[in-house]
Each structure stands twice: as C-alpha cells, then as structure tokens.
Amino acid sequence: MADQIEKVYEEAIKTRLLPGVSLIAGDKDGNIIYSKSFGRLSSKEDRDLPFTEDTVCAIASMTKLMTAVASLRAVEEKLLDLDTDTRPLLPEMGKYGIITGFDDDKGEGTFVPDSTPITLRMLLSHTSGHEYDWLHPLLGKWRASRNEIPYGGPTVEHKAVLPLTFKPGTGFAYGLGNDWAGKLIEVTSGLSLEDYMHSRIWKPLGIENDISFWPNTKESMRDRRADMSTLDANEQPPAVDGSFFDLSFGTKDCLGGGGLHASGKAYFTFLSAVMRRDPKLLTPESYTELFRPQLDEQCEQVLNDYIAQSPTHTNFLSHRIPASIRKTWSFAGLIAKEGQEGRFAKGTTFWAGVANTVWFIDHETGICGSTLCQLIPPLHPPILELHAQFQRQIFEEVRKR
C-alpha cells in the first residue's frame, strides 16, 4: 500500500504539479493506518522547508464540518435550536428576498419578497436559499451592479447578506449557511467562534496550538504556515508561488464556512474523533444528527441535479464520485448513498476545501482520512484524482485485513 501511495505523490512532486502535501488515515479504533508528507511547504526558492504533518494550511470549506459540530454543541447547551427561525437573531439575513432575474439594460435585479423562516437545520444542510455568489450567474451580476466582488468584504455580513436563490426549505444550493451558523454561535454565546471552538473542540482534543482562524497571531503557528501555490493560466505545472491569493478575501470575521487554518495532524485528530463519536465533543444523539441525511426527496433531487448542472458544479461538488451513485447531504457533508467498488462503502461522507484539501469518513469500513496541501486552481481534477487514489489504497488495505 505505502509504495503505491508514495509513487503517485512523489511523481506529482517531481513534476511540480503539487509543491507539498500531508496524508493521514486511521481506523475506527483511533489507530493510524498511514501517515506521510511529501514535498515543500512553499514554491518560493528562499523558503525551502519540508511539508510535514505539522505544516499549517488554510483548510477553507473543511471548516464546515467543525462549524457543524460546534453548532450541535450549541444546541446541546440550549443556545440554539435546529428548527427555530433564526431571522430574529440575524436581521440582515435574507433581507433582499429571492432574486428571480436581472435586467442587463438597467443593471438591476428583480426580486420576490420572502419571509419564510430560516432555521439552523436549513443553514447547515444548504437548503436555506443561500448560494455562493461565484456559483450563481444572477448573484454575480447583482454583485457587479453594486461594484462589489464575489465573497468580498471584511465581515460575514459583507459576504453573506445576499439575495436568496430559492424559497428556504424547498431546494439545495451550496452556499453561506455555515458562515451564518458561525455567526449564530457568536450572537448566542457571547464568544467569538474562535473562542467557542477553542473551549469546546480544540482544547478537549489537545489541538489548540495547531488550529485557528488567525494563525498569524499565534506564535506557535505563524512560522509553520504553508504558502499558497498556483499553476499557470492553462492549469498546468510547474506550480509557482501564489501567496498573493487570500482565500478569505480580506475577512476580519471568523468564517464558519471556510476560515480555519490547521495542521494536517490537528485536523485529522478532529476528524478521527468525529468518526469515533468521541464524547468529549458531542452526545451520541448529536452525532446521529450530524451524520443523518437531512434532505427530503425533493431537495435530494435538486442536489443531484445541481451537481450535474455544469462542469464547474460537478467538479466542485461530486468528489469524483460517479454520477450513477445517488448523493444526499448531512450536516457533516456529502453522502454517497451507494458504495464505489474499490474505493468506499455505502454511506461514506465527504467534503473538501478550495485549495485541494479533502477529507472522508467511511463509516461502514471504519476508516477516515484527510489530505492537506495549498494549491490553486480550486479543486483541480488531477489533484483530486491523486486524493481519490489515496482513499482507494486505504480502503483496499483495510478490506484485505
């Protein structure tokens, strides 16, 4: 197993498709099955340091799983409720109503007012009507008409106060629900999301020195940060320095949808704890809710249609799972309703981060794994295929046992 994994990643490092990466996988008993890092943490010539399991990366949307866990902890503490309307706590949310069109001549959007309750359950399952503005053409035009950039601005409100794209609870769109969920935790707990996660998740797991929304303020993390790298305009190697690219687009808020920085070891410690349903984090009932499919039949069909909507949607959301495999959604992430031969079993949960970081939890097989690197373009297919091969090798090794 190790030889096959190392062969594909060493070739990627050699061709400079990938500057550096850290891989970790483990089983349901907390044992490490495989752990190895490759390459360098930077494409800069004057920063020739190895990429290790302690290298700190921007994990982008891999933050969403942690925000979901924090949200369920807040529900346990009776700070929040999954099915209560959250609009009174977040009065700016959804204030524009639903965008239905855009008049290019006037440079104006058309809207339908909407006051449908938006619940925490909807926010965590992407059924709230929110969608990332860079994924939806009408939202892109609306942003441009206001001289704003997609996902721009320093606060959650700047990024997430957008027109809705459908009536809450009736569809699926990948969007800013977890950012709003993080803001709900802050409003109801009186703590920053950083401090809430620190006390409820990071410190109990012993990873508090290896994960943060603000790594540059942490002496223990600052010098271990990987630099972003980028491929050329044709998305071809060699990778070069891309440290100019800011995944948070200038935020000053904790972004529950994508703002965390973590080492590979720290994130895997969290991932493994979640797979094993560690009682330090949540109750058994909350773990059941975390992994339970949240979509009704209508919303599940919208999800599958949404993934097939365009090559961009397929690349960002399918995790290289065949279209023939039906998918649904949990608070944790994407669920494959059937297994894929040689790669994962039925019910496996997945998600990723824009800089080509990926995690999976295969509940039936009893394995989980994460891969951390720092490369754009986002979710680049050749890199995702490397990570899928890593998953296959771990899956086959455990099945042999």
* Same structural domain, 216 and 338: yes
What distance in Å separates the CA atoms of residue 308 and residue 312, rounded to the nearest whole number? 9
Q: How many CB atoms lie within 10 A of CB 215?
A: 21
* Same structural domain, 34 and 146: no
What distance in Å separates the CA atoms of residue 137 and residue 155, rounded to the nearest whole number? 23
For the chain, 401 residues long, the average pLDDT of each consecutive 10-residue run is 89 97 97 97 95 98 98 98 98 98 96 98 98 97 96 96 98 98 98 98 98 95 96 96 88 97 98 98 98 98 98 96 98 98 98 98 98 97 97 94 79
* Same structural domain, 334 and 213: yes
Q: Is residue 149 part of a domain?
A: yes
* Same structural domain, 51 and 128: no
What distance in Å separates the CA atoms of residue 132 and residue 139, rounded to the nearest whole number? 8
CATH number of domain containing 346: 3.40.710.10
| pLDDT of amino acid 333 | 98
What distance in Å separates the CA atoms of residue 207 and residue 330, rounded to the nearest whole number? 25
* Same structural domain, 175 and 308: no
What distance in Å separates the CA atoms of residue 261 and residue 210, rounded to the nearest whole number? 8
* Same structural domain, 84 and 228: no
Residue 119 Ramachandran class (φ > 0 left, ψ -120 to 50 alpha, else beta)? beta
Asked if 198 and 208 touch (Cβ cutoff 8 Å), the reply is yes
- Host domain of residue 355: 2-63+192-400
- Amino acid identity at 331: F
What distance in Å separates the CA atoms of residue 75 and residue 90, rounded to the nearest whole number? 17
pLDDT by residue (tens digit) across 220-271?
Answer: 899 999 999 999 999 999 999 999 888 888 899 999 999 999 999 999 999 9
Please tell me the total count of domains within the chain: 2
Residue 204 preceded by cis peptide, ω within 30: no
pLDDT by residue (tens digit) across 4-43?
Answer: 899 999 999 999 999 999 999 999 999 999 999 999 999 9
What distance in Å separates the CA atoms of residue 66 and residue 70, rounded to the nearest whole number? 6
Maximum pairwise Cα distance, the chain: 65
Asked if 385 and 254 touch (Cβ cutoff 8 Å), the reply is no
Three-class SS state of 211: strand
* Same structural domain, 12 and 153: no
- In terms of Cβ atoms closer than 10 Å to its own Cβ (0-12, 13-18, 19+), residue 357 is buried
Q: Is residue 70 part of a domain?
A: no
- In terms of Cβ atoms closer than 10 Å to its own Cβ (0-12, 13-18, 19+), residue 121 is buried
Decide which of 189, 212, 239 is a domain's last residue. 189
Three-class SS state of 384: helix
Tokens coding 28: 């349901």
| pLDDT of amino acid 400 | 85
- The residues facing 372 across adjacent strands are 22
